[in-house]
């Protein structure tokens, strides 16, 4: 008889759950302890494990919004010697049926929402949750994966890949720490599998949060009809018209394509292709040395690829402070990454298993063979087929034009996140979404998002992080500045970690002491930068920073020392 997989008893205060996502299909072989599904309650997302070895014979409850009572049988495992015939005609115990679901989105009748969010990325789903918290009847339209590109194909899975690379690099240098790690190897398929699993878990978490906050989710494609009306072609096959008082466009952006560099998924990769490789290419050309290009360069270099980075501008990471970018470039080159600045790919010849690239390097042509190419040359907003022509919404280049409050030229229609232009960062999108709906709700004492103070992070090896003005930007703005530096090699914690390569830089207004900007390169600087971000929000001057007691031994002490250095008071260097 097949083994029954039941929803566990999660406590007296939890009546039922939902299956957020099945991680297996019928016919899949599983081992005891394997994760079969993510189940959601109103409090948390929990993994449902197999309690025996077997083959999945049936999935009795679909993933989605169907509530399931504790103890309900949701799947059947075929044990050794059993075949598919063993599940034919199976009926679960009537004492554990699924609960009666409420009316789902798409039911008959006109929907009326105070806030309708189109797109569920880090801007969209956060805005929807905040709107619901403020008592606004809210819905989200999503045509693909809840959580958007960032959670499913960007920020989170790439950091998961980079964590694997970081652990591998640390293991390669185990001897420096008095440890032994012999016969090191890696399995790229397992590395990718872990990345996809992490993304899947967080995707389920977003669904749980939306349900918990009573946000309706319409799975389908939205199109503006004008005057607050939106047509939604549901993925289930039918369609409906939704009327909303306020519409937030949060459809994100996609990779910009250059003529001759069009991705094909085989030889020329987008970021999506680069995140799910079967193996590591021997030689890799990355076109574009912004954050995305640099992160992929670090990842593939760690696993043995010979990487070439091509950047049209004078330096890699062109939005960063020049001194920090130069430091990072030197570190990457030391690791074996070839960097070509003031360069561009002028021709790409594709063969069955490689490409031949012609690269103009500062006016001189060179030709080289590469196994793969990654195109990382920026993004363009996803505004096509949104029905913008039925509204007064205007474009600003490849993005939707908005004012400081994310308002478009169409009353009641807003655009946030990557769709509204640079900086194209998840945390900027989330902050814009929250600010937008709080203003819609009539909250007082709000401030528009200051894009000049959005922190930037690059999760390469070494990491790069910054907030505020670069030294050059401050000087161009006519500011008199005081600049401080502190190297990682002067910090005890960095030396103890074996991470003595790095630099912290501060830029202050010489007259007022205002912290204009902070820039870092080195281990864990993406975790440190928020300290300077808080300082800017509080309008902190050098006086408060110097008077703050930083704990010892920590990397954060370098923030203190870089401030002291700007005023000729540095202690440890």
Catalytically active residues are: 552
Handedness of CA 318, 321, 322, 324 (dihedral sign): negative
- Spatial separation of the C-alpha atoms in residues 437 and 136, rounded to whole Å: 9
- Number of residues assigned to the chain: 573
Whether omega for the bond prior to residue 235 falls within 30 degrees of 0, making it cis, is: no
Unique residue bearing structure tokens 């991705």? 263
CA distances from 116 to 210, 250, 301, 413, 528 (A): 13, 10, 43, 10, 36
Could you tell me whether strands 372-375 and 343-350 are parallel, antiparallel, or unpaired per DSSP bridges? unpaired
Strand 503-509 with 515-522, pairing: antiparallel
Please name which of 404, 285, 296, 394 lies closest in space to residue 340, comparing C-alpha atoms: 285
Question: How far apart, in Å, do the first and last CA atoms of the chain sit?
Answer: 73
Map residue 125 onto helix, strand or coil: helix
Residue 463: closest CA among 527, 526, 505, 555: 526
Burial of 486 (0-12, 13-18, 19+ CB in 10 A): buried
Sequence-distant (6+) residues with CB within 8 A of 240 are: 106, 111, 218, 231, 232, 234
Please say whether the beta carbons of 243 and 228 come within 8 A: yes
Please give the structure tokens belonging to residue 112: 């009326």
What tokens appear for 402 in the block?
Answer: 């908005």
Cα–Cα distance list, 32 to 36, 46, 50 (Å)? 10, 17, 5
**H-run or E-run covering 272:** helix 271-274
**CA–CA gap between residue 5 and residue 56 (Å, rounded):** 10
Distance CA 30, CA 545 (A): 55
């Amino acid at each position: 008889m097949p083994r029954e997989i039941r929803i566990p008893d999660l406590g007296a205060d939890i009546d039922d759950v939902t299956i957020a996502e099945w991680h297996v299909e019928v016919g899949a072989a599983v081992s005891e302890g394997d994760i079969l599904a993510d189940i959601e309650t109103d409090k948390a997302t929990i993994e449902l494990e197999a309690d025996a070895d077997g083959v999945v014979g049936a999935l009795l409850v679909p993933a989605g919004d169907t509530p399931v009572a504790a103890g309900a049988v949701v799947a059947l495992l075929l044990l050794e010697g059993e075949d598919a015939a063993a599940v034919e005609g199976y009926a679960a115990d009537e004492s554990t049926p699924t609960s009666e679901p409420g009316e789902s989105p798409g039911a008959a009748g006109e929907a009326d929402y105070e806030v309708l969010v189109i797109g569920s990325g880090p801007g969209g789903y956060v805005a929807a949750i905040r709107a619901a918290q403020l008592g606004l009847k809210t819905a989200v339209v999503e045509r693909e994966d809840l959580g958007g590109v960032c959670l499913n194909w960007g920020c989170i899975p790439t950091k998961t890949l980079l964590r694997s690379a970081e652990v591998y690099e640390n293991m390669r240098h185990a001897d420096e720490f008095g440890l032994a790690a012999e016969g090191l190897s890696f399995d790229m398929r397992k590395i990718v599998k872990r990345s996809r699993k992490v993304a899947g878990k967080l995707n389920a978490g977003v669904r749980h949060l939306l349900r918990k906050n009573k946000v309706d989710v319409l799975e389908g494609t939205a199109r503006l009809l004008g005057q607050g009306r939106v047509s939604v072609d549901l993925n289930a096959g039918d369609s409906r018209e939704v009327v909303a008082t306020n519409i937030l466009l949060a459809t994100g952006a996609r990779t910009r394509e250059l003529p001759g560099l069009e991705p094909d998924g085989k030889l020329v990769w987008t970021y999506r292709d680069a995140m799910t490789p079967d193996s590591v290419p021997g030689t890799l050309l990355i076109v574009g040395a912004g954050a995305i290009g640099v992160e992929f360069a670090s990842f593939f270099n760690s696993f043995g690829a010979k990487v070439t980075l091509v950047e049209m501008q004078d330096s890699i990471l062109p939005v960063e402070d020049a001194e920090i970018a130069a430091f990072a470039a030197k570190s990457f080159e030391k690791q074996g990454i070839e960097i070509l600045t003031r360069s561009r790919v002028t021709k790409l010849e594709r063969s069955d298993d490689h490409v031949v690239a012609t690269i103009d390097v500062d006016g001189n042509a060179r030709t080289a063979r590469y196994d793969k190419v990654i195109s990382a040359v920026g993004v363009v907003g996803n505004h096509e087929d949104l029905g913008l022509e039925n509204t007064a919404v205007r474009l600003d280049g490849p993005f939707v034009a908005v004012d400081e409050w994310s308002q478009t030229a169409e009353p009641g229609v807003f655009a946030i996140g990557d769709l509204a232009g640079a900086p194209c960062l998840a945390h900027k999108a989330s902050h814009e979404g929250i600010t937008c709906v709080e203003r819609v709700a009539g909250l007082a004492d709000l401030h528009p998002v200051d894009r000049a103070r959005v922190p930037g992070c690059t999760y390469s090896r070494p990491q790069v992080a910054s907030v505020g003005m670069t030294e050059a930007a401050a000087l161009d703005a006519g500011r008199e500045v005081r600049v401080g530096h502190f190297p990682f090699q002067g910090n005890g914690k960095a030396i103890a970690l074996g991470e003595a390569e790095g630099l912290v830089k501060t830029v202050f207004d010489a007259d007022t002491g205002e912290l204009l900007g902070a820039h870092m390169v080195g281990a864990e600087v993406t975790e440190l930068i928020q300290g300077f971000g808080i300082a800017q929000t509080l309008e902190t001057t050098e006086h408060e920073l110097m008077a703050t007691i930083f704990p010892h031994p920590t990397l954060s002490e370098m923030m203190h020392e870089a401030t002291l250095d700007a005023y000729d008071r540095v202690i440890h260097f």
